[in-house]
Chains A and B, each alone.
Chain A
Amino acid sequence: MNQQQSALFAPPTEAWTPVSRRYAGLRRLSSATSWVFLALIIVGPQAFMVFFLQGFPGSAIRTLRWTLAASAAVLLVLAIWRLWRQGAIARSWAYAERDSDLYIKSGIFNRRLTVIPYGRMQAVNISAGPIERAFKVATVKLVTASAQSDAVIPGLDPEAAAALRDRLTERGEIQATGL
């Protein structure tokens, strides 16, 4: 990360508040699940043909073995690389609370920095699905009148999420403006 980029997505004040460290684990699990699924779709039929179907001529079997090995290797490399990157992706999520706005940043490849004035928040929702609960994290979603805002902070510690929600709601009430 060079100086320019860090300036573009620099925190507005002292520092970003990171999300929970456990969020990386959640991301790894969901990433691993989807890669396993992808592998089943791509490698599964090939393996079935190579190991269980009879009656192919020898040359076809050889070709099939090669493509099977190649696709499995490519998938494995990609999956390991993606799993390794999940930690950095999870760490890229962070937020910062200022006097009148909430800042949320995310992403390593496609970076985003979203700023929502407290006065524009229509509602603040917390959600935690079963897998999120297993990792002891929760997602805070901020609803504005715009569907484009799409302001979500995933992977928060549940207590931190509840406290954040309370702070946001309180500030939203004080600074509320009309549409």
Chain B
Amino acid sequence: MLPDDPRAAYEPVLEHPHPLTPIAKSWIALVAVGYFILRDAPDILQDTPSGGWGTIAEFWYVPIGLLVAVLAVSLIAGYLTWRFTSFIIDDEQVRIERNFISHRSERIAFTKIQSVDVTQPLVARLLGLAALRVDVGGGGSNASIEYLSRKRAYQLRDYLITRAHGTKATVAASAQTPIGTVFSDASAADRRVVSVPPSRLVASMIVTNSTVVFLIVIAALVVYGIIADQPLAWLSTSFLIPWALAMGAMILNRIRNEWNFVLTMTPDGGLRTASGLTSLTSQTIPRNRVQAVDISQPLLWRIVGWQRVRIDVLGLPTESSSSVPANLLLPVGSAQDVAIVLHALWPNLRLDAIAMRPIPKSARWLRWLDAQTYSWGYDEYVLVASGGLLRKRTSIVPHARVQSVRLRQGVIQRKLRLADVQAHTTPGPVDVVCQHLDETDARALAMSELDRMRAARSRPELSLLSTPPQPDRPPNS
């Protein structure tokens, strides 16, 4: 290797996970052993039933010995797994080697990184540990390193995100930037974009469409009970309690996951969401990996003007299949919060300036109640579809991120001379469909969208991002 080769200066970094990893991973076994010993040992020692071969008290060491053996085996296995796991970071990729019983080696090229998460489950968090998870999209295999010290996890995350942006850096250099604490993953270098107060989160979870349905059902049962002269009959209805419990569990789970939600912007322009009550999960997405945005609003949120912002990122698990609030950019916020979030994501987006066009009156035959809520529009950068009454959704996709376009028309639509235009995005919560357009408009929109996609793709980088992230607020705030 020549001395002036830039790679000569680059030392690959080889590290093991944190030594406390086995404890953080097998804490359930630890707790179980401790629980059994504390619960049963006093009883066993006091019991003195006479038997053929002595009292149980004489053999107290048998169950305890078994438990200790289980504990020792799990700790030794954990230790060996830890001992034979290492990760190597060089100038182009991360390599994770697991060489315990079966040998596995995972390679992650920096250019493929879609997002990097740092998760801190409760026990790991108490021990000061954190897991690093790297999403590479496509194949669905998320490489994870469990566990690192919190500081090291944050440092490596910053390094990986810097590299995912295409910037050259070294591990040592990115270790110089300040990092977050146990309570929030926001350092002095980050800029807080928006945060969600817990009171608003709890209120928004309770005021949802499913709660309304539940209350309507209860009201109907009460009215029926009064008519049938049995005013308390609804209390004994069998399905209400399981329903209420399931709904309560879902609400509590979401509150636990989305508690203390903070969206920050990292110095190199990544977006970082961090949230969680017992466990803290923080996810960092390079902004150029965001494929599309969805702003949704259940009917009751409209009273207070709250909205929810979700995004499509290649390779992220969809919200339903995971407990971490992936794909979420804002759990609940005012219109101004949404504007701030969108401005942080795409500074050049001018959503208010896009002329949204209504759909023809004849669409009322298909959308009886909410035909007037549907609209569509586009500008130089993005395509926007909006509509819906029970859940108003506005989907935004940059032309450069549209994969393909579809025109579709059902039988009734054909009679009414309407058609849908769908812009296909990568898998995720966003579905961009301009519904029930006039036939001529639909055809024109679909064909011109292809030209806009081509023009947008031929530009060097997504023009929405072209201005560097600046610590200012959107003009309308």
Chain A interface (Cβ within 8 Å of chain B)? 4-5, 7-10, 12, 100-101, 109-117, 119-120, 144-149, 151, 177, 179
Contact = CB atoms under 8 A, between A and B. Distances in A.
Contact of A4 (B410, B417, B450): B417
Contact of B405 (A100, A115, A119): A115
Contacts of B425: 146, 148
A114 B439 CA distance: 15
Contacts of A12: 447
18 contacts: A10-B443, A12-B447, A109-B411, A111-B407, A112-B408, A112-B409, A113-B406, A114-B406, A115-B404, A116-B403, A116-B404, A117-B457, A144-B404, A145-B314, A146-B404, A146-B425, A148-B404, A179-B137
Among B401, B404, B427, B453, max chain A CB count under 10 A is at B404
B414 interface: yes
B408 A101 contact: no
Given A111-B409, A115-B446, A148-B424, A4 B439 contact: yes
Nearest to A144: B403
A18 B439 CA distance: 24
B322 to A, nearest CB: 17
A99 B404 CA distance: 15
Given A12-B447, A114-B405, A151-B404, A144 B424 contact: yes
Nearest to B403: A146
A148 B410 contact: no
A113 B291 CA distance: 23
Given A9-B409, A116-B404, A117-B454, 7 more contacts: A8-B407, A112-B407, A144-B403, A146-B403, A146-B404, A146-B425, A179-B137
B414 A115 contact: no
B443 A8 contact: yes
A147 B427 contact: yes
B117 interface: no
Which among A8, A9, A120 has the highest number of chain B CB atoms within 10 Å?
A8
B324 interface: no
Contacts of B410: 109-110
Given A144-B404, A146-B425, A100 B409 contact: no
Contacts of A111: 407-409, 414
Nearest to B422: A148
A1 to B, nearest CB: 10
Contacts of B414: 5, 111
Contacts of B405: 114-115
Contact of B403 (A8, A113, A149): A149
B450 A117 contact: yes
Contacts of A116: 403-404
Contacts of A179: 137, 291, 314, 401, 426
| 10 cross-chain pairs, A with B, having the tightest CB-CB distances, nearest first | A146-B403, A146-B424, A148-B424, A113-B407, A116-B404, A144-B403, A149-B404, A114-B406, A112-B408, A177-B457
Contact of A110 (B408, B440, B457): B408
B419 interface: yes
Contacts of B404: 114-117, 120, 144, 146, 148-149, 151
B442 interface: yes
Contact of A8 (B406, B439, B454, B457): B439
Interface string B365-409: 000000000000000000000000000000000000101111111
B419 A8 contact: yes
B120 to A, nearest CB: 30
Contacts of B137: 179
Interface centre among B405, B411, B425, B447 (most CB of A within 10 A): B405
Contacts of B403: 116, 120, 144-146, 148-149
B185 interface: no
Contacts of B337: none
